[in-house]
Structure formats: structure tokens, C-alpha cells
A and B are shown apart, each in its own frame.
Chain A
Amino acid sequence: MTAALLTLADARLPAGGHTHSGGVEQAIAAGLVHDPSSLAGFLLRRLQTAGRVAAGLAAAACRGGDPAALDAEADARTPSPALRAASRQQGRGLVRVGRRAWPSPLWDALPAAPHHPVALGAAATAGGLTPRDAAGAAAYLSVSGPATAAQRLLAMDPLTVAAVTARLAPGIDAVADGALRDGLPADADPLLDLLAEVHAARRDRFFAS
């Protein structure tokens, strides 16, 4: 591991991730997330579906897979228009900062607004990281941003939320390890799709997704 991985997974990397709640805002509105234990359940659910898919795509992109083909596979695994838009927004944000942080010809090979995991894989390669690193970052980011969003929306104790996230570490590692093994996973959660679409139709939301 190199410090580039810490940078890539750092919430302060200005890639725009902080404007997305990963479905948490709507899960709170629907009463599904209301305390640390329900948040932990939601994050686990997200990790095992969206996180697993993102880890697989990021690892494949880092391994040198064709970015356009992987971007199409990401589309096929993301039928929700709201989630597609959220992923592409964050992908574009990451390309913008990644180009400056880790100059590489790889950036020019990406689609204009790639899915976030595809951009993450390219960033990992450009930063000298491995496919396992890319998968780890993708899996971690699938829960770290939503955890912070829940903390802000529910005014939860930051120490408690940090502990919830930290306790997911074995699961995050397992998902990242699996990304090297399982080809391109396609685990889906129709609940997250529904929450994302209901959320996108709201006018009174704080987060973009």
C-alpha cells in the first residue's frame, strides 16, 4: 500500500463525494435508518451490493480492462437513472482531481463522465496502486460517505458513527478480496433503486443522491 491509497479514499479529496448520501437521506426519510444499529444494517446492505459491484469494476479498470466496456457493464448494473447520474457525477469529479494529482495518459482513455468505479480504477493505476487497492477504496467509499451523511442528517454522535464504519472493516476487506476473485459481480438491491428514484423526485433534499 502507498499513501496514494489513503489520498484516494480520503473524504477530503475534492471529487464531489460529499454531496452524495448513497441513499441514506431517503432511507432516513423512509424511517429505515434512525439509529446506529439501523445505520449499520443499511451500510452493510449497501456494501454487499453497490459496494461489491463498485469494487469489482474498480479492480477490473485498474487491471487494465477496456474503460468503455467496463463503463457499459456499470450501466447494466445500475438501471436506476438517479444512481447512474450520481455515479457519473462522482466519476467526473474524480477525473478532474485525478488528472491533476496523478498525471497519466490513462485519463484520456476514459469516457467523458465515467462511472465512479471506472474512474477510481484509472486513478488507482495512475497513482501506482494495485487492483486490490482500487477494490478496497471502492468498497470503503461505498459506506464511508453514506456514514458521514447519516451523521450530519441525524446529528449522530461522530464517535459512534466512526465506530460503526470501523466495525465494517472485515466486511470491506472481504468485498475487496472478492473483487479479485469473482469476475464482475452484479449484486443488486431494488430497495436502493427505489430509494434513489423517490429521492431524485424530491425538491427538499440536502444531498444530490
Chain B
Amino acid sequence: MITRVEVVARRGPGGRTVLPVVRGSGQLAVRRTGPASVHLVATAFGPLGGDDAEIRLVVEEGATLAVRTVAAAVALPDRGGDRPSAQRVVAEVAGSLDLRPEPTVVAARAHHRAGLTATLAPGAVLTATEQVLLGRTGEEPGRWTGTTRVVVDGRPLLHTTVGLGPGAPAWLPPVAPRAYASTVHVGQAAGVLTVDDAVRLPLEDGWVATAWGAELHRVVRAVEAVA
């Protein structure tokens, strides 16, 4: 199934954000849940292997946008073959974007590819989180591949691909975690911070924090502790 979402946030009269474009099709509906916030609502099971979703977010200068989801997404395997499911977030930000979806759970035998491409103007603010759990309870882990690329003022700030799950090249014992969380922030600088199985790394005018482990709730707490 093809899913397309588009949200545009614009600075309106009096400096308040308005959302002139709020559009969803396929597996995701978009609900306005505040003056400058939307929730993505899954209208079908999945994603399933072979599904393709693209979420386009535009936050113009002086505008803010918060994007949430209402529930965890459970990525399920392709029914006929072994195609991965894909979800790309493509964001153009001159204002402030706060993207905090609920976790992605990747069921056994499924492969989910997540992408975030954020193109920021100078002075733009971005917070984007990712929470991943491989396998439902009592199930073998699925596979997840996440690519994040953040470009600020035409210059690449961060570009990483993390692969998790059986078959991912660097998902090897003794460190082959089932749960993973990451937050990237641009707008306020922070230095290096390390704890067990979590690390925060500085970016120019920002940071990226990552944590991993066996249980998602602990990993989420760990990434929040270093964020």
C-alpha cells in the first residue's frame, strides 16, 4: 500500500502557526490535535512488507510543528515475499519541528526501513526521536534499518545508517540489542555524555543521543537520561 502524508506549517497572523496543508492517504490519516500539532493515525494494520510510506513535513520560518502518532506501529512481514516495508520522513524546516512518534515494533521475519531526511535552514530547530523494538513478546526479532540525514544550510550535519536484527551486518553478539532509541536535536548544543549502553555526541549547535538494550522502556529512559 502507498501512503502519503503532507503537512505544512506556516507563520500566520499574529505569529501563530497555521497549518494550510494537512493531508493523509493510504495507511495514515492526519488529525489536528492542537494549533501547531498533528497526530498520525494508522487506519490499517501494519505496515506490511512492500508497503511504502512518505511523510512530507514543511515548517516555514517562524512556524512550529509537533508531530505525534497515536500508537506503536507494528511492522509485519511481506505476505508473498521478503520485501521490506519503508517509511520516509522528508522534512524541510526553517522554523521548529518536534517529531516524536510512538515506537516501531518489528515482528519476526519483517524488515522495516525507516528514513529521516531533514533539510534545515540556518536557525531552524529540530527534535526527532526514534524508538524501535525487534519482535513482539516471545517472538524472534525482526530487522530494522534506519537512515538519518540532517543537512543544515546546505552542509551535512549528520548522516548515519543503523541496522538492527538478524542479517544486519553489525548486529552481532555480544551486542545485538532488541531495543534501540535515538534522538537528534538541532538548536541547542550539548557535549559528550556516556553511560552504560547509551551515548550523547555533540553536533554543531545540537546533539545526537542513542541507547540500546534488551527492553524498550529501559532504553527509552536511558536515551532520555543522556538527551
Chain A: residues with CB nearer than 8 A to chain B? 32, 38, 41, 44-45, 48-49, 52, 72-73, 75-77, 79-81, 185-191, 193-194, 197-198, 201
Contact = CB atoms under 8 A, between A and B. Distances in A.
Contact of A198 (B157, B161, B162, B194): B194
A81 B204 CA distance: 11
Given A79-B203, A190-B210, A190-B212, A44 B172 contact: yes
B175 A72 contact: no
Interface string B154-191: 01111111110000011011110000001000000000
A175 to B, nearest CB: 9
Nearest to A201: B194
B175 A32 contact: yes
Nearest to B145: A187
**What is the interface of chain B mostly: helix, strand, loop, or mixed?**
strand
18 contacts: A38-B174, A44-B169, A45-B169, A45-B172, A48-B169, A49-B170, A52-B169, A72-B155, A73-B159, A75-B156, A185-B161, A187-B161, A190-B210, A191-B175, A193-B199, A193-B210, A194-B194, A197-B192
B192 A189 contact: no
B202 interface: yes
B161 A186 contact: yes
Residue of A77, A80, A185, A187 contacting most chain B CB atoms (<10 Å):
A187
Given A32-B174, A197-B201, A77 B169 contact: no
B208 interface: yes
B147 interface: yes
Contacts of B149: 76, 186
Residue of B162, B170, B194 contacting most chain A CB atoms (<10 Å):
B170
Contacts of A81: 192, 201-202
Nearest to A185: B161
Residue of A52, A193, A198 contacting most chain B CB atoms (<10 Å):
A193
B161 A189 contact: no
B208 A79 contact: yes
Contacts of B173: 41
B162 A190 contact: yes
A20 B54 CA distance: 42
Nearest to A174: B169
B205 interface: no
B194 A188 contact: no
Nearest to A50: B170
